């Protein structure tokens, strides 16, 4: 429907020649301005009802208000009563039929401003924008019309009282975190038109027990309320609210999707031999899960796949796994031992960080790198054998491993990075190979049990506080290769003898005041 120009004015405009096109546009603009000036009168006469019936908002030449571009829009939408006798079916000024409850940009609903508990989105809306309803605690139900094709990122995130959602045929896309943490939503029906559901769309829906897919849908299917792709080779989402204690993944499944079992209540999950990949966050916060066997066919385990599984005591990874993603087992606080499969070549960032009960780990010979914080806060880890092939040990790899007593760094490692062994308070001995040329800041900070350290002859740089508060050290030898030395031994109050080259620049209070310095040359 359009807001019409009066017929006489329309006839006059049509009579203007093409050469006077600029004049034609000016006349239209004057008319639009008159409409705006008269709008207050219209509103006073008719008011603005709560729902969208019998209303219109001017758009097009005069744009509607938008939060992020205030300077480009009118301060308030302008409303008109369509029952006014001046309105008929002819037009050349487009309008939209929505109330003040719905902030629009074109046909996209950008924000719901109303206070209703039961929201019916007007027909004609084609998209629900990011965070359009986010954190709205008033709404208890929402009906999405068939004109909508996409539900945007976090559109209904944290709608804590949203108990009912009706998604009409026509919606094709449900975005990232679309219904994240809708904590009293119990079921959802997916129409045949949906072709894309982001894996995180229903994360945090803690009592969701069923996701039901229309049988005519060509992209997805469901069995017992569990969401799969159409041919059931990918398990997309196991609803968090299902009460079953054990579940056997169907033998047709080849991939466990991202977030598939996120926060499920299951205590036991049987993974079939058909599975070859486990997605990111797949079993994240499965706090009932106590053990799991990963079959030989699995080659990759995604980022944080088992992170925060607080009751997981045993995990068996059969040979076949070649990739374990960052933080895959982070904060599995009851996990006591791990055997990493031979095919793995990299221990990635934070893989076992904060596994506070982990006492032993076997790293395979094929591993060449140990990532940032890979074993950080593994306070029960007493010993670790680093394979000879390892050439890189990254920042904080063994940070705060308070029970670690000894470590051999293999030949081939060239840099001991910042915080690598910081706060390993039980570390008595460490072997640094000749290949090392740099020792990073705080690398051995607060290793209070360390009584001796041999710095290799190829080291040229030692970072600030590298041996901070290593109070067990009584003597230290700095090789001539070190160009300068500053606050490397801050807090090492028991150092009494220092051997150093005259070629090494000593900056400030590099050593305790009462330490005896002997020059090696």
Task: Write a three-state SS string for 189-238.
Answer: EECCCCCEECCCCCCCCCCCCEEEECCCCCCEEEECCEEEECCCCEEEEC
265 conformational bin, left if phi > 0, alpha if psi -120 to 50, beta if neither: alpha
Packing angle of the helix pair 7-14, 21-46 (nearest 10 deg): 170
Residue 179 has pLDDT above 60, yes or no: yes
pLDDT of residue 43: 41
Question: What is the gyration radius of the CA atoms in the chain, in angstroms?
Answer: 33
Q: Per the domain annotation, does 189 fall within a domain?
A: yes
- Mean per-residue pLDDT for 160-168? 98
Q: φ and ψ at 71, to 5 degrees?
A: -70, -15
pLDDT tens digit string along 324-351? 999 999 999 999 999 999 999 999 999 9
Residue pair 228/222 in contact by the 8 Å Cβ criterion: yes
Q: In what order do the strands lie in the sheet with 255-256?
A: 220-223, 226-229, 234-237, 255-256, 277-278, 300-301, 323-324
Residue 177 has pLDDT above 80, yes or no: yes
Same-domain status, 80 and 172: no
Q: Which of 155, 158, 166, 154 lies closest to 136 in space, CA to CA?
A: 158
Q: Which of 163, 154, 151 lies closest to 117 in space, CA to CA?
A: 163
pLDDT of residue 521: 87
**Residue 103 neighbours by CB under 8 Å, 6+ apart:** 64, 65, 66, 67, 109, 110, 111, 112, 113
Give the span between the Cα atoms of 348 and 253, in whole angstroms.
27
Q: Which of 515, 518, 441, 505 lies closest to 477 in space, CA to CA?
A: 518
**Which tokens belong to 406?**
């000894």
Residue 79 has pLDDT above 70, yes or no: no
Q: Which DSSP category does 173 fall into?
A: E
**Residue 84 neighbours by CB under 8 Å, 6+ apart:** 42, 46
Give the span between the Cα atoms of 32 and 9, in whole angstroms.
12
Same-domain status, 144 and 176: yes
pLDDT of residue 170: 98
pLDDT of residue 19: 43
- Select the highest-mean-pLDDT range: 15-29, 40-54, 434-448: 434-448
Domain that holds residue 212: 102-243
pLDDT of residue 28: 53
Mark which of 210, 226, 243 sits at the end of a domain: 243
384 against 37, higher pLDDT: 384
Q: Per the domain annotation, does 457 fall within a domain?
A: no
H or E element that contains 164: strand 164-167
Which of 17-26, 51-60, 319-328, 338-347 shows the lowest mean pLDDT across its residues? 51-60
**What is the band of 25 on the pLDDT scale with cuts at 50, 70, 90?**
low
Same-domain status, 60 and 166: no
Same-domain status, 73 and 148: no
Residue pair 409/432 in contact by the 8 Å Cβ criterion: yes
pLDDT tens digit string along 436-485? 999 999 999 999 999 999 999 999 999 999 999 999 999 999 999 999 99
pLDDT tens digit string along 428-445? 989 999 999 999 999 999
Give the span between the Cα atoms of 477 and 115, in whole angstroms.
73
Q: Which of 404, 444, 453, 452 lies closest to 421 in space, CA to CA?
A: 444
Same-domain status, 215 and 116: yes
Give the span between the Cα atoms of 414 and 183, in whole angstroms.
51
DSSP H helices, 334-485, are none
Residue 3 has pLDDT above 70, yes or no: no
The CATH code of the domain that includes 130 is 3.80.10.10
Give the three-class secondary structure for 11: helix
Same-domain status, 178 and 53: no
pLDDT of residue 99: 73
Mean pLDDT of all residues belonging to the chain: 86
Give the span between the Cα atoms of 520 and 292, in whole angstroms.
58
Q: Per the domain annotation, does 121 fall within a domain?
A: yes
**What is the band of 56 on the pLDDT scale with cuts at 50, 70, 90?**
very low
Same-domain status, 159 and 191: yes
Give the span between the Cα atoms of 63 and 40, in whole angstroms.
18
Same-domain status, 91 and 119: no
**What is the band of 151 on the pLDDT scale with cuts at 50, 70, 90?**
very high
pLDDT of residue 98: 59
Residue 36 has pLDDT above 70, yes or no: no
Q: Per the domain annotation, does 402 fall within a domain?
A: no
Distances in whole angstroms, Cα of residue 194 to Cα of each of 213, 258, 409, 422 = 9, 19, 54, 51
Q: φ and ψ at 462, to 5 degrees?
A: -125, 120
Give the three-class secondary structure for 166: strand
457 conformational bin, left if phi > 0, alpha if psi -120 to 50, beta if neither: alpha
Give the span between the Cα atoms of 111 and 131, in whole angstroms.
7
Q: First-to-last CA distance in the chain?
A: 94
Same-domain status, 70 and 178: no
**What is the band of 82 on the pLDDT scale with cuts at 50, 70, 90?**
very low
48 against 24, higher pLDDT: 24
**What is the band of 287 on the pLDDT scale with cuts at 50, 70, 90?**
very high
Which of 80-89, 95-104, 170-179, 388-397 shows the lowest mean pLDDT across its residues? 80-89
- Mean per-residue pLDDT for 148-155? 98
Percent of the chain with pLDDT over 70: 81
Give the three-class secondary structure for 144: strand
Q: Is 30 exposed, middle or buried (0-12, 13-18, 19+ CB in 10 A)?
A: exposed
Residue 21 has pLDDT above 60, yes or no: no
Residue 51 has pLDDT above 50, yes or no: no
**Residue given tokens 């769309």 in the structure block:** 201
Domain count, the chain: 2
- Mean per-residue pLDDT for 481-507? 94
Q: Which of 157, 148, 206 lies closest to 177 in space, CA to CA?
A: 157
Give the span between the Cα atoms of 40 and 394, in whole angstroms.
67
Q: Per the domain annotation, does 361 fall within a domain?
A: no
- Mean per-residue pLDDT for 71-78? 34
Q: Per the domain annotation, does 263 fall within a domain?
A: no
Q: Per the domain annotation, does 109 fall within a domain?
A: yes
pLDDT of residue 1: 36
H or E element that contains 8: helix 7-14
Same-domain status, 109 and 93: no
Residue pair 385/363 in contact by the 8 Å Cβ criterion: yes
Mark which of 220, 243, 266 sits at the end of a domain: 243
Q: Per the domain annotation, does 216 fall within a domain?
A: yes
Same-domain status, 8 and 64: yes
Percent of the chain with pLDDT over 90: 78
Which of 25-34, 238-247, 271-280, 427-436 shows the lowest mean pLDDT across its residues? 25-34
Mark which of 100, 120, 149 sits at the end of a domain: 100
Q: Which of 369, 426, 363, 418 lies closest to 395 in space, CA to CA?
A: 418
Q: What is the number of other CB atoms lying within 10 angstroms of the CB of residue 521? A: 8
Same-domain status, 134 and 211: yes
């Amino acid at each position: 429907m359009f807001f019409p120009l009066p017929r006489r004015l329309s006839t006059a405009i049509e009579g203007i020649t093409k050469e006077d096109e600029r004049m034609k546009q000016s006349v239209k603009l004057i008319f639009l301005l008159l409409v705006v000036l008269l709008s207050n009168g219209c509103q006073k006469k008719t008011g603005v009802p709560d729902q969208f019936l019998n209303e219109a908002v001017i758009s097009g030449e005069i744009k509607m208000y938008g939060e992020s571009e205030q300077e480009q829009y009118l301060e308030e939408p302008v409303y008109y009563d369509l029952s006014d006798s001046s309105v008929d079916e002819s037009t050349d000024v487009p309008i939209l039929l929505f109330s003040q409850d719905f902030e629009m940009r074109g046909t996209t609903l950008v924000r719901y401003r109303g206070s209703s508990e039961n929201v019916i989105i007007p027909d004609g809306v084609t998209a629900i924008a990011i965070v359009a309803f986010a954190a709205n605690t008033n709404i208890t139900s929402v009906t999405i019309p068939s004109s909508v094709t996409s539900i945007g990122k976090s559109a209904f995130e944290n709608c804590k009282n949203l108990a009912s959602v009706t998604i009409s045929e026509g919606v094709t896309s449900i975005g990232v975190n679309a219904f994240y943490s809708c904590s009293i939503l119990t079921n959802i029906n997916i129409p045949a038109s949906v072709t894309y559901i982001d894996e995180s769309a229903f994360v945090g829906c803690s009592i969701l027990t069923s996701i039901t897919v229309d049988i005519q849908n060509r992209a997805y299917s469901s069995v017992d309320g569990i969401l799969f792709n159409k041919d059931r080779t990918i398990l997309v989402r196991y609803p968090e609210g299902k009460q079953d204690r054990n579940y056997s993944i169907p033998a047709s499944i080849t991939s466990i999707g991202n977030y598939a079992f996120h926060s499920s209540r299951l205590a036991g999950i049987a993974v079939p031999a058909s599975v070859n990949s486990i997605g990111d966050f797949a079993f994240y916060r499965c706090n009932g899960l106590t053990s799991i066997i990963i079959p030989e066919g699995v080659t990759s385990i995604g980022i944080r796949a088992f992170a925060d599984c607080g009751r997981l005591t045993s995990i068996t990874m059969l040979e076949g796994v070649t990739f374990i993603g960052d933080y895959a087992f982070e904060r599995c606080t009851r996990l006591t031992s791990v055997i990493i499969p031979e095919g793995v070549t990299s221990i990635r960032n934070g893989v076992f960080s904060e596994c506070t009960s982990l006492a032993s780990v076997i790293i395979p010979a094929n591993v060449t790198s140990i990532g940032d914080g890979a074993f950080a806060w593994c306070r029960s880890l007493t010993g670790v054998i680093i394979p000879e092939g390892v050439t890189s040990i990254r920042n904080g790899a063994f940070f705060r491993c308070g029970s670690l007593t000894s470590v051999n760094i293999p030949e081939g490692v060239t840099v001991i990075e910042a915080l690598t062994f910081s706060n390993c308070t039980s570390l008595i001995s460490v072997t640094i190979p000749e290949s090392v040329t740099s020792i990073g800041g705080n690398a051995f900070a607060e290793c209070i049990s360390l009584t001796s350290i041999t710095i290799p002859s190829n080291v040229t740089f030692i970072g600030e506080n590298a041996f901070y508060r290593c109070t067990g050290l009584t003597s230290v030898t700095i090789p001539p290769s070190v160009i300068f030395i500053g606050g490397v031994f801050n807090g090492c109050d028991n150092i009494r003898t220092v051997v150093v080259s005259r070629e090494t620049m000593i900056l400030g209070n590099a050593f305790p005041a009462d330490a005896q310095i002997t020059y090696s040359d």
